[in-house]
Chain A
Amino acid sequence: MTPITNIFTLIEQLESWVERQRKGSFAVYGLIFTLLVVASVLTLFLYVSFAGYPRLDREFFTGYASRVPEQAGILPAFLGTLWVLFLVAVISFPLGVAAGIHLEKYVQNDRLSRFLEVNIMNLAGIPSVVYGLLGLQFFVRSMGLGESILAASLTLSLMVLPLVIISTREALRMVPQMHIDAAYAMGASKWQTIWLQALPQALPGIVSGTLLAVSRAIGEAAPLLVIGALAFVPFAPISIFDYFTVLPVQIFFWLSKPQNSFLVNASAAILVLLSITLFLNLLAVGIRERWHKRLKS
């Protein structure tokens, strides 16, 4: 072996060593970045838990808004959030599913279908605060619903409607064509095929998507502030025409107070809100996973 080839093999070895280091280092950096992000989320949860947990007693859940931070509670906001959760689900689910079925199964014209699809993606991209402006003019003023739970829920339902439509279409597409063809072969009409065959099989996917949409809706504050959520609601909302506040709005108002003890209240309310959001998300993921497994088998 000549010295020249020796040098070449040396360089080659060196290069491959550098390459190995670089490859290894990127894998390490990538891992670190990803862990960093996951860890920061965990830190947030822990921080909020430590700051807010001591405040989570019975008085906090049964109390009303107050100027004294230690006496303030979240009853109106909590009930408001439950109202919104319920109403948004009830309004957006049937509308979104109906629209999804129509767009997926009835629109034959490709151009039209493409146009409506882009339109729905555009709807999903409109900033939430702009939906608030729509709700303010349309539901609060023109329809005369006032600053009510109903106006708030309708506004949020329009906001999350695209999500329900998109998940309905995706779920319908997952149903095996074989099953659809079998229903037709048995002499079922188009609607019978959809109602008795496609929809039941797609339902878990649609429910999962709707849960995610509802969880988005109950976390929103911006559109509700625009249509007139109140800072102080001194009573428990029992009708859909009542004035309202919700947890995110309550958190926002507490954060805008100068006293530090309101921050403790905000942390506690965030803990409640995050628990609901997390629960809805996990439920949605769980339903979707089980559904995927069943579709595969």
Chain B
Amino acid sequence: MKQEKLIEGLLKLSGWLSLAITLSVMGVLLYNAAAFFAMVPLWEFITGTSWIPFAERKAFGMWPLLSGTLLTAGIALSLAMPLGILIAIYLSEYASEGWRRIARPALDLLAAIPTVVYGFLALVFITPMLQWFFPSIATYNALSPGLVMAFMVLPIITSISEDAMRAVPKIHKEAALALGATRWQIVRKVVVPAAFNGISAAVILAFSRALGETMIVSIAAGQQASFTFNPAVAIQTASSYIIQMSLGDVAQSSIEYSTIFAIGLSLFFLTYLLNNLSFWFRDRFRSSKIISAA
């Protein structure tokens, strides 16, 4: 009996470990970022449009890194969203069961590929191909990693959206069918609107994942922190800035060192908000399912 109490105590400790990890992530980021914000006013960080951490006259405005991050993730999403939703519609409404059972794991495998491999793909495959069509594109640019990133986040969109579409009660589809609706009309007027919450959750989660993606942009997007939304030139994202700084020799107490925690905190904050927005949509999708089943 005593032994059992001990085991249950250990289980409880592990159970609460997850909360401890969340708190330590926040703690570590806030603690080290505090040193940064003691030297750089928060307002200057949020509104500044130039990021010059190395020169004599430094500037710490987050917009160059934020624009780079939003640009690559935006490119990724503008390809992954239509493609992912169409594939989800196809798999849930049109594809045969046998083909679906092959295609879905194959798509999920996209998420299992290490991101350095995607980076390699962007640098040695996609960029030369883009340059062949548009010679003015730089070797390091935002477009190529963005496009490759679309494939990385595609399985998030297809799997969650497809689950949402398959959760639409059959009786609704049959009702539409009985009224004479065609298959495509059912998709457009019944399935997609009913699965809207699930699709939104999927797209937002994919966007958040793209914002935090690091290796693809570190390899193929360059290291030019400039405030631009031009996809053809080198940019820098928040995540690739952290990598660039980590590779260099920077004294631990310097302001350059504390910048990576300030940038990390911003990235954490942004993805945290998006993830929870996604969870909110997913909860709405789940509770609406219960109502319709009742």
Residues of A with Cβ closer than 8 Å to B? Answer: 19, 22-23, 26-27, 29-31, 33-34, 37-38, 40-41, 44, 47-48, 95-96, 98-99, 101-103, 106-107, 116, 118-123, 125-134, 136-138, 141, 158, 161-162, 165, 189, 191, 212, 215-216, 218-222, 225-228, 248, 251-252, 255-256, 263, 266-267, 270, 273-274, 277-278, 281, 285
Contact = CB atoms under 8 A, between A and B. Distances in A.
Nearest to A137: B28
A102 B14 contact: yes
A45 to B, nearest CB: 10
Interface in B1-57: 4, 7-8, 10-15, 17-19, 21-22, 24-25, 28-29, 31-32
Given A116-B18, A118-B279, A263-B124, A134 B28 contact: yes
A37 B151 contact: yes
B121 A44 contact: yes
A38 B109 CA distance: 9
Contact of A248 (B28, B94, B114): B114
B229 interface: no
B263 to A, nearest CB: 9
Interface residues of B, number: 77
Nearest to A44: B121
B125 to A, nearest CB: 7
Interface string B202-231: 000100110111110011000000000000
Interface in B99-125: 103, 105-107, 109-110, 112-117, 119-121, 123-125
B86 interface: yes
Nearest to A223: B214
B10 A98 contact: yes
Interface hub of A41, A95, A255 (most chain B Cβ within 10 A): A255
A133 B242 contact: yes
A138 to B, nearest CB: 6
Given A19-B182, A133-B260, A225-B246, A273 B14 contact: no
The 9 closest A-B pairs by CB, nearest first: A30-B90, A127-B212, A219-B114, A102-B15, A98-B14, A222-B214, A125-B275, A102-B11, A99-B14
Interface stretch (B60-68, B190-198, B266-274, B284-292): B266-274
